[in-house]
Protein backbone atom coordinates (compact mmCIF):
# COMPACT_ATOMS: atom_id res chain seq x y z
CA UNK A 1 0.00 0.00 0.00
CA UNK A 2 1.51 3.31 -1.03
CA UNK A 3 -0.10 5.49 1.61
CA UNK A 4 -2.03 4.78 4.77
CA UNK A 5 -4.39 7.24 6.36
CA UNK A 6 -4.28 7.71 10.13
CA UNK A 7 -7.43 8.13 12.21
CA UNK A 8 -6.97 11.88 12.14
CA UNK A 9 -6.78 11.87 8.30
CA UNK A 10 -3.04 12.49 8.00
CA UNK A 11 -0.79 10.58 5.62
CA UNK A 12 1.18 7.92 7.52
CA UNK A 13 3.46 6.94 4.66
CA UNK A 14 6.83 8.53 5.01
CA UNK A 15 9.17 9.44 2.22
CA UNK A 16 11.31 6.52 3.36
CA UNK A 17 8.37 4.10 2.98
CA UNK A 18 7.64 5.37 -0.52
CA UNK A 19 11.31 5.13 -1.46
CA UNK A 20 11.48 1.56 -0.10
CA UNK A 21 8.40 0.62 -2.10
CA UNK A 22 9.85 2.13 -5.27
CA UNK A 23 13.09 0.19 -4.67
CA UNK A 24 11.12 -3.05 -4.26
CA UNK A 25 9.12 -2.41 -7.40
CA UNK A 26 12.27 -1.52 -9.33
CA UNK A 27 13.95 -4.73 -8.22
CA UNK A 28 10.90 -6.76 -9.17
CA UNK A 29 10.72 -5.12 -12.60
CA UNK A 30 14.44 -5.80 -13.12
CA UNK A 31 13.89 -9.48 -12.27
CA UNK A 32 10.93 -9.66 -14.65
CA UNK A 33 12.96 -8.07 -17.44
CA UNK A 34 15.80 -10.52 -16.84
CA UNK A 35 13.34 -13.42 -16.93
CA UNK A 36 11.81 -12.09 -20.10
CA UNK A 37 15.23 -11.80 -21.76
CA UNK A 38 16.19 -15.32 -20.64
CA UNK A 39 12.90 -16.76 -21.89
CA UNK A 40 13.23 -15.03 -25.25
CA UNK A 41 16.70 -16.53 -25.72
CA UNK A 42 15.50 -19.94 -24.60
CA UNK A 43 12.59 -19.71 -27.02
CA UNK A 44 14.96 -18.74 -29.86
CA UNK A 45 17.20 -21.72 -29.11
CA UNK A 46 14.24 -24.09 -28.90
CA UNK A 47 12.82 -22.86 -32.20
CA UNK A 48 16.19 -23.35 -33.90
CA UNK A 49 16.42 -26.84 -32.41
CA UNK A 50 12.90 -27.65 -33.57
CA UNK A 51 13.77 -26.49 -37.08
CA UNK A 52 16.87 -28.71 -37.09
CA UNK A 53 14.89 -31.72 -35.88
CA UNK A 54 12.18 -31.10 -38.48
CA UNK A 55 14.79 -30.94 -41.23
CA UNK A 56 16.49 -34.08 -39.98
CA UNK A 57 13.16 -35.90 -39.81
CA UNK A 58 12.33 -34.91 -43.40
CA UNK A 59 15.75 -36.17 -44.54
CA UNK A 60 15.30 -39.46 -42.70
CA UNK A 61 11.83 -39.95 -44.16
CA UNK A 62 13.22 -39.37 -47.65
CA UNK A 63 16.06 -41.86 -47.06
CA UNK A 64 13.57 -44.37 -45.69
CA UNK A 65 11.40 -43.99 -48.79
CA UNK A 66 14.45 -44.47 -51.05
CA UNK A 67 15.46 -47.60 -49.14
CA UNK A 68 11.91 -48.95 -49.33
CA UNK A 69 11.83 -48.37 -53.09
CA UNK A 70 15.20 -50.15 -53.53
CA UNK A 71 14.06 -53.13 -51.46
CA UNK A 72 10.83 -53.37 -53.46
CA UNK A 73 12.84 -53.22 -56.70
CA UNK A 74 15.15 -56.02 -55.45
CA UNK A 75 12.16 -58.16 -54.50
CA UNK A 76 10.64 -57.61 -57.92
CA UNK A 77 13.92 -58.65 -59.63
CA UNK A 78 14.19 -61.74 -57.45
CA UNK A 79 10.64 -62.75 -58.38
CA UNK A 80 11.52 -62.31 -62.04
CA UNK A 81 14.57 -64.53 -61.62
CA UNK A 82 12.44 -67.21 -59.94
CA UNK A 83 10.00 -67.31 -62.87
CA UNK A 84 12.75 -67.67 -65.52
Q: Where are the domains of the chain?
A: 13-84
The span from the CA of 62 to the CA of 49, in Å, is 20
**What are the pLDDT tens digits along the chain (84 aa)?**
445 555 555 556 688 899 999 999 999 999 999 999 999 999 999 999 999 999 999 999 999 999 999 999 999 999 999 987
Region at 16 (left for phi over 0; alpha for psi -120 to 50; beta for the rest): alpha
Note if the pTM is more than 0.75. no
CB 15 within 8 A of CB 21: no
Is residue 5 within 8 Å of residue 11, measured between CB atoms? yes
Amino acid sequence: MLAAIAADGTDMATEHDVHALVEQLTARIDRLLASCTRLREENRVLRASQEAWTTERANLLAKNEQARARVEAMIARLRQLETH
